[in-house]
Amino acid sequence: MTKKAIGVFDSGLGGLTILNALRRTLPHENLIYFGDTANVPYGSKSKEAVTRLSLAIGRFLQEQNVKLIVVACNTASAQALGELKKRLAVPVMGVIEPGATKAVGVTKNGHIAVLGTEGTVNSKAYPKALLKKLPNAHIIQQACPLFVPLVEENWTNKPAAELIAREYLLPIQQSRADTVILGCTHYPVLKEVLARILGAQVNLVDSADTLAEAAQVFLRKHHLAQTTGKGRITVYASDAPQRFKRLAQILLADKISTVHLKKLL
C-alpha cells in the first residue's frame, strides 16, 4: 500500500510547483502528475466543465492505483473538490484549505488579498475558508487571468509580465493587505516580479509547502507513508507532451525523461 503513488493534477504546468513541494517533503513517494494541456485554462470555464474534467482525471489517477489525489489546481479545488470527494474512492486533498491556513497564520493586521483565476475568485472559496478561520478578516480578491499564459509561455521575465502585474496589483497596493495569497498554481512562478512590485512588507503565500505538509500528516496518520528509497515521478499530459516536457524542465526541480500522452475524453 505504501508503495502506491500520490496522484497530482492541474490544468497544465502550474501544478509542477506543487509537485516540487511534495518532492521536497516526501522524497520517498512515487508521484504521478497529470497536466490537462488539452483543456487549459480552467480559470475561465464553467463550474460544470471544470468538474467534468476534474472527475475524468480523478478516475484516470484512480485507475493508476494511487493512494491519494492532490488537486494542485486552485480552480478545480475551488469548484470540484466536493464532487471529487463524493465520487472517487481514493482520498482527495485540495489547495484552498492549506493556503488559507497559511495566510491566517502569517497576517498581522487581518487584511488578506487573494489573487486567482476568474473561476476561483467567483467561487469565493478562499474568502469562505479564511473567514471560517479568522472571522474578522478583511478580504479583497483580484482575478489575474493573463498570468497563466505568461507562465505557460515562459514569459515571466519579460517586461510584459511586470506591466501586467502592476495593473493587477494596483488595488492590492491601495488596500491594507499585508498578506497576498497566490491562489493559482501558476502564480508562484511570478513570485519575484510580484514581490518586487508589492515590496518586502507584504507576505506572499502559496499553498505548496503547507499542502505538502498536510499530505505528509495524512499519509503518516493512515500508515500510508513510504519511508525508504527514492520516489519515481511519472508525468502525463492530455496534449502536446513534447512541449509540456520542454517547459516542465524549467519549472520542475527534477529532470524527467518522458511525458506520456493520455487523452482525456
Respond yes or no: is residue 144 known to be catalytic.
Answer: no
**Pattern 70-89, ligand DGL, x by CB under 6 A:** ---xxx--------------
Give the CA distances from residue 211 to residues 32, 216, 258, in Å, rounded to whole numbers and listed in that order: 16, 9, 26
Spot the catalytic one: 32, 68, 69, 73: 73
Which residues inside 2-31 make contact with ligand DGL, applying CB under 6 A? Answer: 10-12, 14
Among candidate residues 140, 133, 147, the one with its CA nearest the CA of residue 113 = 140
| C-alpha–C-alpha distance, residues 180 and 231, integer Å | 33
What are the φ and ψ backbone dihedral angles of 38, each rounded to 5 degrees? -75, -20
Number of residues that bind ligand DGL (CB under 6 A): 17
Q: Is 94 in the site for ligand DGL (CB under 6 A)?
A: no
Which position has the grid cell 513510504?
226
Q: Is 51 in the site for ligand DGL (CB under 6 A)?
A: no
To ligand DGL, the closest distance from the beta carbon of 18 in angstroms equals: 9
To ligand DGL, the closest distance from the beta carbon of 193 in angstroms equals: 17
Q: Is 98 in the site for ligand DGL (CB under 6 A)?
A: no
Which position has the grid cell 514569459?
155
Which residues inside 109-148 make contact with ligand DGL, applying CB under 6 A? Answer: 117, 120, 148
To ligand DGL, the closest distance from the beta carbon of 57 in angstroms equals: 12
Q: Is 226 in the site for ligand DGL (CB under 6 A)?
A: no
Spot the catalytic one: 184, 198, 224, 233: 184
16-25 and 241-251 helices, crossing angle to 10°: 50
Among candidate residues 29, 36, 99, the one with its CA nearest the CA of residue 67 = 29
Among candidate residues 123, 69, 118, the one with its CA nearest the CA of residue 96 = 123
DSSP 231: P
For residues 139 and 115, the answer to whether their CB atoms sit within 8 Å is no
Among 79, 123, 185, 238, binds ligand DGL (CB under 6 A): 185
Helix (H) or strand (E) segment spanning residue 70: strand 68-71
Q: Is 37 in the site for ligand DGL (CB under 6 A)?
A: no
Among 58, 186, 237, 252, binds ligand DGL (CB under 6 A): 186
Q: Which residues are catalytic?
A: 73, 184
Q: Binding residues for ligand DGL, per CB under 6 A?
A: 10-12, 14, 40-43, 73-75, 117, 120, 148, 184-186
